[in-house]
Structure 1
């Protein structure tokens, strides 16, 4: 058993590392492909399908990987810094191409074709088809007095530099010390969110109360009630009803499959095979309805041991369905009455946090001797907040969020480019 558990843990660690590397490669390649597509559209005089939000989403994926793989709060490797900067450089190039107006003159064509060549080299590098990147030739981009060519050359050189640093083994183990005090590092590590605190307290109180009731009345299979309470309770009260609906659908679907399968297969071995198959299929679904439907098959499989026939197994399915319905009803009432946190309220608070973070980033870019760990931690935090803001804005129908985000992004981007030009 210990050997098996060790093998599973080792597999998960290896798979987690591989998944992170795959995510980074996919995000960078998606941005490179978008830049290449923009160049092709400009060279063929076809309309450029501008999609800055998709590009931004890929950049946020990189930040998510760095955040999840960081050693600890305010402790990110130089390779991760470079990975983020490579993504930010690609975003800047794509925005430059989106903004390119006017006819494609011979000089512009030379500039764009050279950029196309460099993008192809970057793609080969991220695909590990080559181990290095050649130096860029400024003259190949166009005349030295061409401001447009100079800007694209600088952007391409910036991306090249950070792609090489990203892949440098020494950079992966290099961690610059932070100048922040212990109290600030502890605060960053805790990262207390009001939504999470209220959610944790609510779920803890709910589970403590009903666990005591289940134990007091010795309810058979009472764990199904507790699992439902924990599953249906959500940080935002708005999300409880949709989650409850999915759980009910999953229970009906999985229960119907289990009722049929276990009634037709009285053999313990065949039932075990069905339960193992349902557990295996869980990893192939991302939709909660299907994953919990598989879990329902497994849950009923363990409960009907020693039972046979449509009537007895159907009765057990009815017991599970009753617990699910009761848990849904309780969770809906409690989450609406006990310190409810609405998505729009959380979005307003999150927006204030985002505005403060981006303002601090802009200010840091203008200061000498910036704490690099603090700077990039704020960059990562800003990207993660953006993702949550966009999700909340969509779910809560929060109008005008796109314009507000664009303003803050542009402010940070300008400050960062100024700092980069000064050698940051």
Structure 2
């Protein structure tokens, strides 16, 4: 439950950063720092669940949590420059848990992420000395911008949106013509039903149609009882006001809402028309509209939840493959490429949110697993990118290390990680154990997911 709340908060903060971009692409200095703080906190949140349960880990966890709480209290203060007292706390912690002395790999990675958090805090302190709103960007639109725009379009104007728009326009146009041609009294009920039951996904249309027809039948029966048997025509306005209030009150319960909205709609006509005939007309028109909406969703450019799930997963994998391929090229370590990667990281968060919305009992385990594995992988790749951005002289070493790991069968077994890290560090000038371990985890995940054979999104 706590983990879900943390992820929800991070998702909301990412959305705020996404909406604050300049020209729907560029990040200012302040947004970049806040974004990287979020990534560090995400890493820490994921790593805490992997920490071993022993006395040493418990002591480490207590100190790490105390440090994070101090960081949290400091950033609540609008004046970040008043947080100099944190520096000795961070220094004492890093002196005690030095990367070279820490044996446990998960603990080592947590120390590294806390170091990143400390670095970002220092950047926040210096943000008054530089323009918080300053943006480093190229005057000309680059290929990085174009590839980013491609994924943005896929996330907003995708096959789902196009099929839904066409179906709705087609249905309304055809039935508006039929209603007008045959001069159907109250024929607008058909149009209202179609417009309210035509959903992007066929599954939702089918489910809502059954509830709407059931609610309309119950509402129609209640109208007949009220105005034909009990002869409460003079109370039509009172009934209409009460049921309108109940429609709003039960807005979250679709069946109840349909019952009361049916009573409200018919009550407005009972003074001049027969309530029984009105109820029958309403029921027939809703059934016609509901059946048509379901048939259109099923037959006209059908797009089901399974189709959306498949497209979103494919998009996520394309981003991962493209990102991994890009970080091995020194020419990509530019300010413009940095904006591209930050956009891609936000896109993956949006994809995760969309996939989470599609979770149901039948696919819950599979979708949750997909998100968890890819999320950990994209975080590892971003961590490697941030480290290489600050250590560009190690890019060639990094590429060679990744190639060596791919050729070494030892990486397939997590029990060999420490031995493999030692072998790699002894051969290369790149001595950062965390970077090497993340490289192993990336290659392992990419192979397990068969992503090396997938096309990139660039």
TM-score (norm 2): 0.65
Asked whether the 8 Å contact 2:212–2:258 carries over to 1, the reply is: yes
Aligned position for 1:206: 171
Does residue 83 of structure 2 align to residue 115 of structure 1?
no
Seen in structure 2, the aligned counterparts of structure 1 residues 186 and 360 have a Cα distance that, compared at 3 Å, is closer
How much has 1:348 moved relative to structure 2? 2.3
Does residue 238 of structure 2 align to residue 281 of structure 1?
no
How much has 1:411 moved relative to structure 2? 2.6
Aligned position for 1:138: 90
Does residue 212 of structure 2 align to residue 244 of structure 1?
no
Aligned mate of 2:234, from 246, 252, 266: 266
How much has 1:209 moved relative to structure 2? 0.6
Larger Rg: 2
Aligned position for 1:88: 39
**Greater mean alpha carbon deviation, residues 54-63 or residues 336-345:** 54-63
Asked whether the 8 Å contact 1:347–1:393 carries over to 2, the reply is: no
Aligned position for 1:335: 297
Asked whether the 8 Å contact 1:307–1:313 carries over to 2, the reply is: no
Aligned position for 2:319: 357
Aligned position for 2:271: 306
What is the CA–CA distance in structure 2 between the aligned matches of 1:162 and 1:227, rounded to whole Å? 55
Asked whether the 8 Å contact 2:356–2:367 carries over to 1, the reply is: yes
Aligned position for 2:114: 153
Asked whether the 8 Å contact 1:62–1:83 carries over to 2, the reply is: no
1:266-318 Cα offsets, whole Å, 9 max, x none, are 35764564366346536xx44444555564455345x426348xxx3454233
How much has 1:61 moved relative to structure 2? 3.9
Matches within 5 A, 1:15-414: 34=2, 55-67=6-18, 73-75=24-26, 79-105=30-56, 111-124=60-73, 128=76, 132=80, 134=83, 135-136=86-87, 137-141=89-93, 143=96, 145=98, 146-147=101-102, 148=108, 150-151=111-112, 153-157=114-118, 160=121, 171=132, 177=137, 179-180=141-142, 187=150, 190-191=153-154, 192-252=157-217, 264=232, 266=234, 270=238, 273-274=241-242, 277-278=245-246, 281=249, 285-292=251-258, 295-296=261-262, 298-301=264-267, 303-304=268-269, 306-307=271-272, 312-366=274-328, 367-369=332-334, 370-392=336-358, 394=360, 397=363, 400-414=366-380
**Structure 2 gaps, min length 5:** 103-107, 391-458
Number of equivalent positions:
365
What is the CA–CA distance in structure 1 between the aligned matches of 2:281 and 2:252, rounded to whole Å? 27
Aligned position for 1:421: 387
**Greater mean alpha carbon deviation, residues 244-253 or residues 96-105:** 244-253
How much has 1:139 moved relative to structure 2? 3.5
1:189-233 Cα offsets, whole Å, 9 max, x none, are 644312221221122111111111111112222222112112222
What is the CA–CA distance in structure 1 between the aligned matches of 2:299 and 2:313, rounded to whole Å? 25
Seen in structure 2, the aligned counterparts of structure 1 residues 280 and 394 have a Cα distance that, compared at 3 Å, is closer
Pairwise CA RMSD: 4.1
What is the CA–CA distance in structure 2 between the aligned matches of 1:102 and 1:407, rounded to whole Å? 22
What is the CA–CA distance in structure 2 between the aligned matches of 1:233 and 1:183, rounded to whole Å? 33
Aligned position for 2:436: none
**Greater mean alpha carbon deviation, residues 270-279 or residues 331-340:** 270-279
**Greater mean alpha carbon deviation, residues 324-333 or residues 238-247:** 238-247
**Structure 1 gaps, min length 5:** 1-29, 35-50
